[in-house]
Amino acid sequence: MKGKEKEQLYQKRNYDHYRFSMKELLKYMGQALALCIMADYLFYKSKWVLLLMLPVPVFYLKWQKNRMIRERRKNLNYQFKDALTSLSVAVQAGYSVESAVKTCVRDLERLYGKGTDIVEEFRYIESQQHISVPLEELFLDLGERSQIEDIENFASVFYTAKRTGGDMNRVIQKVSRMLGDKIDVKKEIEATLAAKKSEQMIMSLMPVGIILYLQMTSPGFLSVLYGNPFGIAAMSICLVIYAAAYWLGRRIVDIEV
């Protein structure tokens, strides 16, 4: 039983998929239903249209899943930088690269806690070393599974240096410094764009606020747009334009380094 638990603990992680917890599933289903009800109230005021929106939560969950996958990879990228720093310190202290992985696991557990992706990845690497899997192949496998450019680049450089007898300490130090500089730039960009993202969200909510204001203060002003084919067509066009503007705004403020 213990062996089976250990095997499950050190299994490979798939970064192409994300499984919602029950709490997350209920949260995002609630958000999707609230969006459908709000869209129906603002643009249609029709129970039949609301029924036609039932597939929307499926697409919303898929969108949230893709967002969580991107967020997970971004966090793994940031965590990998700290892992390389720990690995470099251990190698400078006189450990071989293979032995430094075990020290790195303890440092990462103190930094991020058990169960996080980077800790479990290095635990998996440590366990595979016990059955004589080369370390350079394990890093290549991690880069291939995570599809993170920085990890893939490190794995390629590490593989070449390992097979050609290069200075591993120097390689790890240089890659760690370059990766750290790149992540610092990413964080600076995120901090700079934080205000712009808030502005974009406020601007996206303004049309909703205007419609709500008109419905509360002058309900007869918009009544012509509800309950008739012309109004449904006009409101549908407005909804499509609004959704496209929101999507375009998010793409503009979402800058990849």
pTM over 0.85: no
pLDDT value at residue 31: 92
Q: With bands split at pLDDT 50, 70 and 90, how would you rate the model's confidence at 69?
A: very high
pLDDT value at residue 256: 65
pLDDT value at residue 187: 80
pLDDT exceeds cutoff 60 at 146:
yes
What is the chain's mean pLDDT, rounded? Answer: 84
pLDDT tens for each residue of 82-99: 888 888 888 888 888 888
pLDDT exceeds cutoff 90 at 164:
no
Q: With bands split at pLDDT 50, 70 and 90, how would you rate the model's confidence at 10?
A: low
pLDDT value at residue 4: 41
pLDDT tens for each residue of 15-59: 888 888 899 999 999 999 999 998 888 888 888 888 888 888 999
Least confident of 132-146, 147-161, 208-222: 208-222
pLDDT value at residue 220: 78
pLDDT exceeds cutoff 90 at 250:
no
Q: With bands split at pLDDT 50, 70 and 90, how would you rate the model's confidence at 201?
A: confident
- CA angle at residue 87 from 139 to 141, to 5 degrees? 5
pLDDT value at residue 257: 57
- What would the 3-class secondary structure string for the chain be? CHHHHHHHHCCCCCCCCCCCCHHHHHHHHHHHHHHHHHHHHHHCCCHHHHHHCCCHHHHHHHHHHHHHHHHHHHHHHHHHHHHHHHHHHHHHCCCCHHHHHHHHHHHHHHHHCCCCHHHHHHHHHHHHHCCCCCHHHHHHHHHHHHCCHHHHHHHHHHHHHHHHCCCHHHHHHHHHHHHHHHHHHHHHHHHHHHHHHHHHHHHHHHHHHHHHHHHHHCHHHHHHHCCCHHHHHHHHHHHHHHHHHHHHHHHHHCCCC
pLDDT exceeds cutoff 80 at 165:
no
Report CA Rg, the chain.
Answer: 25
pLDDT exceeds cutoff 90 at 103:
no
